[in-house]
Structure 1
Amino acid sequence: MSMITERPVPGRTPGVTERPASAPRVKARRDRMAILRAYVALTKPQIVELLLVTTVPTMIVAAGGWPDPLTFAIVLVGGGLAGGAASALNCYIDRDIDELMRRTKRRPLPANTITPRAVLIFGLTMSVVSVVLMAAFTNWLATALTAASIFYYDVVYTLWLKRRTPANTFWGGVCGAAPVLIGWAAVTGGLSPMAWALFAVVFFWQMPHFYALAIKYKDDYARAGVPMLPVVRSMKRVNFEIVLYTVLTLAASLVAWPLGLGLVYGVTAIVMGAVFLGEAVRLAYRSRTDETVKPMRLFHMSITYLTVVFMAVAVDALIAG
């Protein structure tokens, strides 16, 4: 049996492995990447993406084709910053309840990845930048709507309504649908019946969309003391509202059809509306007797519905243009 001996190296203690000089730099780089990912997570990119899914087609309809490139770019950037700012400030305000909920306890603030002060500065800075961009390159109405939507979401909804009333989702739907009005106003300088009809589609859509999520995380909201409808009302009441607002979503989409949209949109709105309503009815019917029914199926279906319907809005407008 042979024994391999290590040749002594000057300046190195025998038996001790020397740590590569690059290790501290690698760790620092990983830390920076973790912080960068945390800042991105604060903006809730999936929500911002949904906001832009409704804003872009609305601008195309408002312009009767592709809008002015500068206006288009400013609304995308300014709107994205506004949505990210509102989400970051929401995380700052809700940091006390986020750490109590399984769904949110890994967010940057509960996980102590970023300090609350840094998040507050980040959110306020993005808010100012988004409003300044809109003011400099669009018009007063689009700018006012942008500022109002940030204020409404963070102060009226997050700080006040969310913790005090089961109607929080309904009233919170105003800021969720505001990007439609912002996009229209940025292009035209005003608001038309078509803008309000598309606003109504997104507004009513939010109830079945978010109620499905609230059913899934009912225990989380109860633990945090947030009076979401599934926490404080019976499933019969929740199911009724899901079906009711799905019907209103479909109705609003049909109201938009004769206001300037064509056959592509009309057929898409009817077909997707029927599928969406069928899924809402299915959840309402099955949840009466089956506690294992999966509400997230409706949640994901609602995202597909909104995306496809607003894609049809854009296609129809481009065909007509």
Structure 2
Amino acid sequence: MTQASTIPLPADWRDFFALTKPRVMTLVIFTGLCGLLAAPGYINPVIAFTAILCIAVGAGGAAALNMWWEADIDAGMKRTSARPIPMGRMKPTDARDFGIMLSGASVMTMGLAVGWLAASLLALSIFYYAVIYTIWLKPRTPQNIVIGGGAGAFPPLIGWVAVTGEVTAMPLLLFAIIFMWTPPHFWALALFVQTDYAKVGIPMMPVVKGEASTRRQIIIYSILLVPLAAAPWFIGGTGAIYGVAALSLSLAFLALSVPVAFRQAQAGDGMKPEKRLFAFSILYLFALFAALVVDRVAFYQGWIA
């Protein structure tokens, strides 16, 4: 990693906030909260708030470390060139120190206030994203997003463990759902920004293996996602509300992946199927985890058996 060549200007709070990748953090917070709310048992509301805050701060710390390490890569990509370090609004070392501070504070607070198992999982998720994915996988293999998908899959597992204090089949399934969802979600994006990745030498799947291979793998992962998303219902961990929602949403996801898989994009065609799949994939995860919480509330209220 080499530092950005621009002379940094004084950064303000907006630049530090941008380092945390707030749009990504929204999904992290939501899935972590859903894992916490869906878990069986009781947790004090103050402790629950602390757990979600720690998940958010830890995710922000990992994102800041990612931006510090990839400053030069970000500068070369149109999609990321306006970030604080490439724009010269912040010293790379300030971003690094900010990321370390957030990461350390989130893990220690989680351990002291919530529990050390949840804190250990949070620490692992930060290490997974900042080191395993960012430093090791991303610049070396087209399977980077497949293996690296585990980084974004931790929040519901951590939220669940914050309540129960143990890792069981249900939170592992929630982890696996996000893990399986990540490749088709990210590759749909990579298909219409692949020139950016090629320009900076990042071996994303469309760049290294080509569009045809990437499109085939998108539909394969989308097919596998259907039974996996419904698995919590199949094992009796949820009721019919979640089960019907999971099957409906996953079949819609699969339907949108079909035109992506079986077409050859032409220059200037706008990549509409790929953009539709990417946009729906975000809605998919929000709706799926919302259904999980609604199902749990319905069970506790006696609306369903």
Both proteins in one fold, TM over 0.5: yes
Give the stretch that moved more between structures: 118-127 or 68-77: 68-77
* Whole-angstrom CA distance in 1 between matches of 2:223 and 2:17: 35
- Structure 1 partner of 2:237: 260
- Compared with structure 1, are the counterparts of its residues 194 and 114 closer, same or farther at alpha carbon in structure 2 (3 Å cutoff)? same
1:44 is aligned to: 21
Give the equivalent residue in structure 2 for 1:23. Answer: none
Paired position in structure 2 for 1:220: 196
Higher gyration radius (CA): 1
Pick one of 297, 300, 305 that aligns with 2:284.
305
Q: Distance in 2 between matches of 1:128 and 1:58?
A: 23
CA distance in 2, matches of 1:300, 1:68: 35
Q: Which residue of 1 aligns with 2:149?
A: 173
Deviation at 1:266, TM superposition (A): 1.1
Structure 2: how far apart are the matches of 1:49 and 1:194?
Answer: 22
AA of the residue aligned to 2:227:
A
Equivalent position SS for 2:238: coil
Pairing partner for 1:201 from 152, 157, 177: 177
Aligned-partner Cα distance in 1 for 2:33–2:190: 28
- Does the Cα contact within 8 Å between 1:201 and 1:250 map onto a contact in 2? no
SS at match of 2:297: helix
Note the C-alpha offset of 1:290. Answer: 4.5
- Structure 2 match to 1:281: 258
Matched, 1:146 2:122: yes
- 8 Å CA contact 2:58, 2:107 repeated in 1: yes
Give 1:175 shift: 1.0
Maintained 8 Å contact 2:62/2:99: yes
Per-residue displacement from partner, 1:188-243 (whole Å, max 9, x unpaired)? 11111111111111110111110011111100000100000010112221011111
1:81-160 to 2 correspondences below 5 Å? 81-160=57-136
Measured in 2, the distance between the counterparts of 1:124 and 1:93 equals: 12
- Closer, same or farther in 2 for the Cα pair 1:218/1:289, shift >3 Å? closer
Partner of 2:303: none
Pairwise CA distance, 1:77: 0.6
**Counterpart Cα distance in 2 of 1:164 and 1:153:** 15
Calculate the aligned-residue CA RMSD, in Å: 1.5
- Equivalent position SS for 1:148: helix
Contact 1:105 1:111 in 2 (8 A): yes
**Percent identity (aligned):** 39
Gap runs ≥5 in structure 2: 1-8, 301-305
2:296 pairs with 1:317? yes
Is the Cα contact below 8 Å between 1:71 and 1:187 reproduced in 2?
no
> Residues 61 and 127 of structure 1: is their aligned pair in 2 closer, same or farther, counting only changes over 3 Å?
same
TM-score (norm 2): 0.91
Q: Using the TM superposition, name which of 245-254 and 122-131 deviates more.
A: 245-254
Tell me if 1:191 matches 2:170: no
d(CA) in 1 for partners of 2:277, 2:264: 16
Asked if the contact 1:198/1:252 (under 8 Å) is kept, the reply is: no
CA–CA distance in 2 between the matches of 1:230 and 1:102?
A: 17
Residue identity matched to 1:302 = S
4+ runs deviating over 6 angstroms? none
Matched ranges for 1:25-36 at <5 A: 35-36=12-13
Point out where structure 1 has 5 or more consecutive residues left out of the alignment: 1-30
**Could you tell me which amino acid in structure 2 is paired with residue 116 of structure 1?**
P
